[in-house]
Amino acid sequence: MTNVQLFSQISSLPADLKKEVSDFVAFLKKKSEKGKKIKERQFGYSKDFFKMSDDFDEPLEDFEEYR
């Protein structure tokens, strides 16, 4: 649907329905702006969330046969 077709359909509506269309367009604009906001990450947010063992870099026994 082109802009002209959309405009002609909206123009043919009664005033009360034009108001509803206007409200709906405002709602859609607000909804699309809300989705675009990117939350700023906080430094240290996941501190202590992951635990690494002291022998993390040591070879695993399961892979001994591949050495």
Specify the pLDDT at position 44: 85
Residues 4-47: tens digit of each pLDDT? 999 999 999 999 999 999 999 999 998 887 766 677 888 888 88
Instruction: For the chain, give every domain's residue range.
Output: 1-29
pTM to 2 decimal places = 0.49
CA distances from 58 to 53, 66, 67 (A): 10, 15, 13
Where helices occur in 1-67 by DSSP H, the ranges are 3-11, 15-36
Residues 6 or more apart whose CB falls under 8 angstroms from that of 13 comprise 21
